[in-house]
Structure 1
Amino acid sequence: MSDSYSKTASEEPGLTQKLTDARTFLGNHKTVLLTTRAPNGALHARTMAVAEITPDWKFRFIYDNESYKEKEVDNDNHCNIAVDGTEKNDGWISISGKASRTNDEKIVEKLFNPTTKAWFGDKGDGVHNGTPSDPRVAVMEIQVDEIRHFHQVKTLVGMAVDVVSSAVGGSTAKPGEIRTITGEEIKAAWSKGELKEA
C-alpha cells in the first residue's frame, strides 16, 4: 500500500484481536454480498445469509445448486464476500476466497432451518420438496484467502472532526484501521490450536 490513507489506517493489533473484531462485525450484519464470476467474465453479486463461519474461518452458505451461481463457481471458484457497515457506522469487510460445494448430509442438516425451505419451494414430485434431503439443497463453502477489514474506531461526529482537522492541518484522516488477515495466518493459527469455537 503506497497511498497516505492506507498507510495511516494500517496499524494493526495481533491476529486474535483482528479475528475477534472481524467476527463481531460479521455478527452484527445478517447478510453479506457474495460475488462470483460468470463464464463471460461478468461479476455478479447477490445478498446471502451466512449459515456458519467455522472455527477455522470457512464460510458456509445453503444454496440451490440449480441456481446460476453454481455455473459461475464451476467456471471460476474465486469469489468475494463483502459487507458495508457504513449505515451502522461500523466499517466494512471484504473477504476473498475460493468456493467449493458439499452435499454432506450432516452439514446440510446442521445448517438447515425451517425458513430455508422458502428459498427452494416444493416441485410436488416427492423429491424436490425444499427439505434437507432435496438434491438441490447444497452448501457452498468458502476457504478464505484474505480478509480486509476496516475496523472503524470513531463515531460519525469523531470521524467528521478527524476529516476536517486533517484537511485543514494537512495530515491524513484516520477514522479507523484497515486490517489484513491472510488465509495462511488463519491456517497456521488453527494448526497451533490458537483458534477456538466461536
Structure 2
Amino acid sequence: MSDQYTAAASAAPSLSEKLATLRGFLKAQKATIFTTRAKDGSLHARTMAIAEITPDWKFRYIYDKESHKDEEVEQDSHVNIAADGTHNNTGWVSIAGKAKRVEDHAVVEKLWNPTIKAWFADKGDGVHDGTPSDPRVVAFEVSVDEIRHFHQEKTTLGTLTDIVTSTISGATATPGSIRTITGQEISSAWAKNELREP
C-alpha cells in the first residue's frame, strides 16, 4: 500500500532515464545529508559532499576515520543520503544503503582535492598533516539498497496552480513524479553492461 500522493506521483520511466535525471540532480547539489545510526539507536546527520559516484552507482565520500561517523558505520552499516532541491524547484532524493570504509589511499588520491585539507588539522607530527597520505583521510563507499527521487516537473507557478486546483477539486496535487530505483536493478543492469559511463 502507498499513500494517495505517492500513488498519484509514481512514474515508471526507464532505468537509464531515471539514473540520468538523478545524476543531473545530484550534480547540482553542493552537499548531501549523510545519516548514520548510533549504538543507542539515535540517528545522527551531517552535511557531506559526494566525492564520486562510480559507474556502478556507489557513492564515495572523503571523511576523517577518527570521527563518530566511522564508529557508527562500523557498528551499523545502514546509512541514508538525502538532498533537497525544493528551494529551487528541482525535487529531492533519499538514498538508503550500506556504507563501508575504504582505506585504499589510491582511491583517496583519486578523490582528493586541495579544499579537503581544510577539514583535517595538521598535528605537526609529519604524519597527520591533512594530505592524502594522512591515515585519518579515508573514504566511505555506499552501496545502494533503494533510491527514492522526487523529480520536480512543474515550475513554481505550475506547482501553485496544481495545489490550488487540487484543493478545489479534491484531487491529489502532483507537481512531479516519485521515481524508485533499487540496488538490485542497478546491479542487474551493471552486470548486463547496460549502465552508461557518466
Q: TM-score range by the shorter chain?
A: over 0.9
The answer as to 2:156 corresponding to 1:156 is yes
The residue that corresponds to 1:39 in the other structure is 39
Q: Deviations over 1:151-192 (max 9, x none)?
A: 010011100100111111121111000000000000001011
Q: Deviations over 1:127-147 (max 9, x none)?
A: 101111100010100000000
The residue that corresponds to 2:176 in the other structure is 176
Q: CA deviation at 1:48?
A: 0.2
Q: Distance in 2 between matches of 1:131 and 1:2?
A: 48
Q: Which amino acid aligns with 1:124?
A: G
Output the TM-score relative to the length of structure 2: 0.98
Q: Which amino acid aligns with 2:150?
A: F
The residue that corresponds to 1:105 in the other structure is 105
Q: Which amino acid aligns with 1:98?
A: K
Structure 1 portions without partners, runs of 5+: none
The residue that corresponds to 1:54 in the other structure is 54
The residue that corresponds to 1:166 in the other structure is 166
Q: Which amino acid aligns with 1:67?
A: S
Output the TM-score relative to the length of structure 1: 0.98
The residue that corresponds to 1:118 in the other structure is 118
The answer as to 2:138 corresponding to 1:138 is yes
The residue that corresponds to 2:72 in the other structure is 72
Q: Which amino acid aligns with 1:25?
A: F
SS for the counterpart of 1:127 is coil
Q: Which amino acid aligns with 1:123?
A: K
SS for the counterpart of 2:115 is helix
Q: Are the counterparts in 1 of residues 55 and 195 from structure 2 also a CA contact under 8 Å?
A: yes
Percent of pairs identical after alignment?
62
Q: CA deviation at 1:2?
A: 2.5
What is the total number of aligned residue pairs between the two structures? 198
The residue that corresponds to 1:90 in the other structure is 90
The residue that corresponds to 1:4 in the other structure is 4
SS for the counterpart of 2:106 is helix
Q: CA deviation at 1:11?
A: 2.1
SS for the counterpart of 1:16 is helix
Q: CA deviation at 1:121?
A: 1.3
Structure 2 portions without partners, runs of 5+: none
Q: Distance in 1 between matches of 2:44 and 2:116?
A: 22
Q: Distance in 2 between matches of 1:2 and 1:66?
A: 41
Q: Distance in 2 between matches of 1:190 and 1:82?
A: 23
Q: Are the counterparts in 1 of residues 38 and 72 from structure 2 also a CA contact under 8 Å?
A: yes
Q: Distance in 2 between matches of 1:132 and 1:52?
A: 16
